[in-house]
């Protein structure tokens, strides 16, 4: 059996974790996640966090700025991996916290927590680079299949990665979805992880030919049908870290500052207090600096070359 606190300490430094340890961690996490419902109940006060995308050092800032796992409760809205250079460490750190403090952290699945997407957007490459084989990637993907699809805070705030689906109009219907699978390309589960709010009057097909856009009316209907006040989602980059829409009935929370190490955006987390009041904490990206051990973060340095 491994020492969880030691693994946490290694992960926080971005150090290597053995394949065996990752395997053991993933198995334990699956057992824990297996017992969670599709939509987990969470009590206030709680901090809602958006996309992380493998930015480990910014994830550490997030915890530091928002009270820390020892003192506060957290919901992560998914997209832990891909894009950034520390997808594995970020995801494993969250899993370790989940094992260490099961009642203080809820992990929701994002559209990047799938085999297909991680093969294209970086997580698979990162594992190949760090381990020379794809085993660790496979263990993590097994865990992805067990992540919840949403959370509900004090019967008042519904949390999901992407947005709404016309296939599931009530939270109870979401509870009946079979979630233990690779995210399909159609159906309710796909919509919950992929759909976006937009300035539309009704459910509308995206010009890409798949995926729904939903508008203020769909949000109001969902809120009143389910007796909730707010939909908290992530999935879309927001320069200011968060964006409220539709008479504050929906909020997008984004927690990856300087996204892809080049966007220059700030990040935010949303705290819901016992009286259901909302407060946002804004934070900036960690700068590459020797004494925090992240000197391998890419800088804005353009690579000079004799391009033709």
Partner 1 sequence: MSGRRYNTKGINVLEVNSAREAHARTVHARLPVNQQPQQQREFAREQIPVPSRRVFPRPATATPRHVCNNPNNPPCARCGTTIIPSPRATLPLEDCPSVTIDNWTISTRKRPILNSQEFEDWENNRLKGLALPEMIFGNNYVRIENTRDNWSLEFNALDALKHVKLEDSGIRVAYSQKWINSKQEKHKRQMPGGANFDIEESSLKIAHQYDWTYTTKYRGTEEGTLRLQRDDEASLPIDKLARPDNILFFDDMILFEDELADNGISMLNVKIRVMDERLLILSRFFLRVDDVLIRVIDTRVCIEFQENKVLREFKEYEGAYKDVILRHRSSHSHDPKAALRDSNWVVQNTPLVSRQCESLAF
Q: Is the CA virtual torsion 111, 67, 151, 8 positive or negative?
A: positive
Provide the minimum distance between the beta carbon of 105 and partner 1 in the complex, in angstroms, as a whole number.
Answer: 20
Cis ω on the peptide bond leading into residue 45 (within 30° of 0)?
Answer: yes
Compare residues 85 and 124 and give the one whose CB is closer to partner 1: 124
Binding of residue 178 to partner 1 (CB under 8 A): no
Binding of residue 35 to partner 1 (CB under 8 A): no
End-to-end CA distance of the chain: 56
The correct pick among 9, 13, 101, 166 for binding partner 1 (CB under 8 A) is 166
Binding of residue 280 to partner 1 (CB under 8 A): no
Binding mask 180-199 for partner 1 (x = CB under 8 A): -----xxx--x---x-x-x-
The correct pick among 34, 264, 277, 279 for binding partner 1 (CB under 8 A) is 264
The answer for 53, left when phi > 0, alpha when psi is -120 to 50, beta otherwise, is left
Binding of residue 254 to partner 1 (CB under 8 A): no
- Measured distance CA(214)–CA(220) in Å, rounded: 11
Annotated catalytic residue: which of 16, 41, 57, 112? Answer: 112
The correct pick among 65, 100, 115, 130 for binding partner 1 (CB under 8 A) is 65
CA-only gyration radius of the chain, Å: 19
- For 181, the token pair is 């699978």
Closest CA to 14 of 65, 72, 59, 52: 59
Q: Is 235 a catalytic residue?
A: no
Provide the minimum distance between the beta carbon of 133 and partner 1 in the complex, in angstroms, as a whole number.
Answer: 10
Burial class (CB in 10 A: 0-12, 13-18, 19+), 193: buried
- Measured distance CA(61)–CA(54) in Å, rounded: 13
The correct pick among 102, 128, 224, 247 for binding partner 1 (CB under 8 A) is 128
Site residues for partner 1 per CB under 8 A:
60-61, 64-65, 111-112, 117, 119-121, 124-125, 128, 166-167, 169, 173, 185-187, 190, 194, 196, 198, 200, 202-213, 221, 236-240, 243, 259-260, 262-265, 283-284, 286-289, 291-292, 299-304, 306-308
Give catalytic residue positions. 112
């Amino acid at each position: 059996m491994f020492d969880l606190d030691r693994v946490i300490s290694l992960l926080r430094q971005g150090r290597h974790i053995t394949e065996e340890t990752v395997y053991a961690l993933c198995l334990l996490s699956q057992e824990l996640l297996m017992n969670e419902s599709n939509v987990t109940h969470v009590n206030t006060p709680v901090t809602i966090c958006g996309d992380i995308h493998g930015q480990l050092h910014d994830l550490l800032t997030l915890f530091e700025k928002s009270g820390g796992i020892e003192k506060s409760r957290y919901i992560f809205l998914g997209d832990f991996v891909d894009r950034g250079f520390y997808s594995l460490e970020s995801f494993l750190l969250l899993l370790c916290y989940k094992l260490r403090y099961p009642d203080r952290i809820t992990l929701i699945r994002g559209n990047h927590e799938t085999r297909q997407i991680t093969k294209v957007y970086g997580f698979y490459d990162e594992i190949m680079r760090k381990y020379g084989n794809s085993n660790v990637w496979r263990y993590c993907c097994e865990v992805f299949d067990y992540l919840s699809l949403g959370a509900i805070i004090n019967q008042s705030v519904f949390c999901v990665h992407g947005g709404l689906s016309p296939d599931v109009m009530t939270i109870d219907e979401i509870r009946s979805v079979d979630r233990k699978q690779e995210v399909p390309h159609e159906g309710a589960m796909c919509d919950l992880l992929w759909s976006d709010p937009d300035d539309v009057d009704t459910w509308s097909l995206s010009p890409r030919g798949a995926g729904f856009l939903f508008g203020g009316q769909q949000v109001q209907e969902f809120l009143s049908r389910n007796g909730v006040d707010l939909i908290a989602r992530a999935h879309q980059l927001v320069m200011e870290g968060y964006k409220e829409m539709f008479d504050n009935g929906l909020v997008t929370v984004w927690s990856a500052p300087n996204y892809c190490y080049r966007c220059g955006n700030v990040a935010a987390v949303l705290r819901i207090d016992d009286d259901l009041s909302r407060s946002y904490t804004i934070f900036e990206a960690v700068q590459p600096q020797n004494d925090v051990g992240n000197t391998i973060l890419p800088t804005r340095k353009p690579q000079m070359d004799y391009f033709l």
